[in-house]
């Protein structure tokens, strides 16, 4: 009998097939017995009926517990009531009868679930979220591959700090100091002179001492970088990219969004053009909305929440005070207090999912900023070389995968958007 994935059952109606998976739950209704099986590709009802099902399988049904691993062979049928496919079981093989599973259908506290993340992954919600995540990652790759960006991977161990010296994870590299990368951007800036348009995609690390629903210590970031590009080009690309990702999930992952009870109408509104405003305009608007933010301060999570609840589309906030931005930004010629940066804030209170902008071409300015950071200059010699040999206006951005998944799935916290979250005070499992 062919072993198939349950999601393909529709191609086998009336035929005998074998499914392999785990018992999600079992129940009895009169003389009929049911197992809800998960095989990783779908959730499917398996029906045990005396006469149709072997006597042995009827007997073995009694032993089944939640999460027991089994193989069932039977005939695929379409349920006339809802059109779903089910398996009329003939034979069953038991791989293991599971011990009592710690995660039951009743409610569990978040700490308990996080301690059991290795088992929690099997739940329907986590299954749906991580399948949306996988689709978003594929969409990211497709988007840039289709637009002539070359994937150029950046290193994880690096002597450089891209995003400030206060959030570095430090490690010993044979007597030298190395950090876990905060961003692949600086390396992508080198790669554009070889490939013009590049992107890197990988895990990035920030020792953020903040315990918020938006922060992880380890998160995944996709970072495009373009030669001969201005802030305007970067904003246009970010807008097109975010629209593309949402459209892809709506196209391919509707079943998962339904499991998550996501309000689809909110996602259907994510169409260009998005909202654009300068940092200064955003601060003025925040004041009207009751925030006490002072011009020159970075947005707090609350500011982003209030602002994004005003619109049903993402907001591109651009031209920030250079004082709180990273060292590499180009300054606005019309007002050198401003950095040519852009953040994309997701609606419904989600806030920043993208950060980027145009990079400085000025070696003197870059050196000054590097000195202010107090990190060894010699580690940036290679980076400054890029301004010596064929320097061009350029820019790019980074999109955080976990915050994007949280927004698209409608989740309260980023901890469920990555298989193995690394958070303040949590390294297990």
Residues forming contacts to ligand 4AD in the complex (CB under 6 A) are 162-163, 183, 185, 206, 208, 215-216, 219, 221, 223, 352-356, 396-398, 400, 402-403, 414
Q: In whole angstroms, how close is the CB of 352 to Mg ion at the nearest point?
A: 6
Q: In whole angstroms, how close is the CB of 220 to ligand 4AD at the nearest point?
A: 8
Write the CA distances from 258 to 124, 136, 244, 262, 274, integer angstroms: 11, 17, 20, 6, 26
Report the distance separating Cα 182 and Cα 221, nearest Å: 10
Query: Looking at beta carbons only, is 347 or 356 nearer to ligand 4AD?
Result: 356
Q: How many residues does the chain have?
A: 429
Query: Looking at beta carbons only, is 24 or 206 nearer to Mg ion?
Result: 206
Query: Looking at beta carbons only, is 162 or 340 nearer to ligand 4AD?
Result: 162
In the list ligand 4AD, Mg ion, none, the entry touching 162 (Cβ below 5 to 8 angstroms by class) is ligand 4AD
Query: Looking at beta carbons only, is 52 or 373 nearer to Mg ion?
Result: 373
Summary count for the chain: helices (H), strands (E): 13, 17
What residue ranges in 232-350 does DSSP mark as E strands? 275-278, 315-321, 331-332, 335-346
Check binding of 355 to Mg ion (CB under 5 A). Answer: yes
In the list ligand 4AD, Mg ion, none, the entry touching 208 (Cβ below 5 to 8 angstroms by class) is ligand 4AD
Which of left, alpha, beta for 55 (phi over 0: left; psi -120 to 50: alpha)?
Answer: alpha
Q: In whole angstroms, how close is the CB of 167 to ligand 4AD at the nearest point?
A: 8
Contact 76, 14 (CB under 8 A): yes
Query: Looking at beta carbons only, is 7 or 213 nearer to ligand 4AD?
Result: 213
Q: In whole angstroms, how close is the CB of 375 to ligand 4AD at the nearest point?
A: 15
Report the distance separating Cα 266 and Cα 273, nearest Å: 15
Q: In whole angstroms, how close is the CB of 271 to Mg ion at the nearest point?
A: 24
Q: In whole angstroms, how close is the CB of 405 to Mg ion at the nearest point?
A: 17
268 three-class SS? helix
Instruction: Count the neighbouring beta carbons within 10 Å of the beta carbon of residue 28.
Output: 10
In the list ligand 4AD, Mg ion, none, the entry touching 163 (Cβ below 5 to 8 angstroms by class) is ligand 4AD
Contact 86, 220 (CB under 8 A): no
CB nearest Mg ion: which residue? 355
Q: In whole angstroms, how close is the CB of 220 to Mg ion at the nearest point?
A: 15
Query: Looking at beta carbons only, is 355 or 395 nearer to Mg ion?
Result: 355
Report the distance separating Cα 78 and Cα 327, nearest Å: 61
Query: Looking at beta carbons only, is 178 or 339 nearer to ligand 4AD?
Result: 339
> Strand 43-48 and strand 85-96: pairing?
parallel
Q: Which residues bind Mg ion (CB under 5 A)?
A: 355
């Amino acid at each position: 009998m062919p072993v198939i994935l349950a999601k393909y059952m529709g191609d086998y109606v009336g035929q005998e097939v074998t499914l392999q998976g785990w018992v999600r739950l079992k129940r009895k209704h009169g003389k009929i017995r049911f197992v809800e099986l998960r095989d990783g590709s779908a959730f499917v009802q398996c029906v045990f009926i005396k006469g149709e099902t072997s006597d042995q399988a009827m007997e073995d049904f009694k032993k089944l517990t939640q999460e027991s691993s089994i193989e069932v062979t039977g005939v695929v049928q379409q349920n006339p009531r809802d059109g779903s496919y089910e398996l009329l079981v003939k034979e069953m093989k038991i791989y293991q009868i599971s011990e009592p599973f710690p995660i039951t259908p009743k409610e569990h506290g978040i700490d308990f679930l996080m301690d059991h993340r290795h088992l929690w992954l099997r739940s329907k919600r986590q299954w749906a979220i991580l399948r949306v995540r996988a689709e978003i990652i594929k969409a990211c790759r497709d988007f840039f591959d289709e637009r002539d960006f070359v994937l150029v991977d950046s290193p994880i161990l690096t002597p450089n700090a891209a995003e400030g010296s206060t959030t570095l994870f430090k490690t010993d590299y044979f007597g030298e100091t190395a950090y876990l990368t905060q961003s692949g951007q600086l390396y992508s800036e080198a790669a554009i002179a070889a490939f013009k348009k590049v992107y890197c995609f990988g895990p990035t690390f920030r020792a953020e001492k903040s315990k918020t629903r938006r922060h992880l210590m380890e998160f995944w970031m996709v970072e495009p970088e373009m030669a001969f590009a201005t802030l305007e080009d970067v904003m246009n690309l970010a807008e097109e990219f975010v629209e593309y990702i949402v459209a892809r999930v709506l196209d391919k992952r509707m079943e998962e969004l339904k499991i998550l009870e996501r309000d689809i109408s909110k996602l259907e509104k994510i169409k260009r053009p998005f909202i654009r405003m300068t940092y200064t305009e955003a601060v003025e608007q925040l004041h009207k909305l009751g925030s006490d933010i002072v011009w020159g301060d970075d947005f707090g999570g609350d500011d982003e929440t209030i602002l994004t609840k005003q619109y049903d589309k993402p907001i591109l906030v651009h031209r920030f005070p250079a004082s709180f931005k990273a060292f590499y930004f180009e300054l606005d010629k019309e007002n050198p207090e401003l950095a040519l940066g852009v953040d994309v804030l997701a609606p419904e209170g989600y806030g920043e999912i993208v950060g980027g902008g145009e990079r400085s071409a000025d070696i003197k300015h870059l050196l000054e900023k590097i000195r202010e950071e107090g990190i060894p200059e010699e580690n940036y010699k290679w980076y400054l070389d890029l301004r010596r040999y064929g320097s061009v206006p350029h820019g790019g951005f980074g999109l955080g995968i976990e915050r994007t998944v949280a927004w698209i799935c409608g989740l309260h916290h980023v901890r469920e958007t990555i298989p193995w979250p690394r958070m303040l005070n949590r390294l297990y499992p």
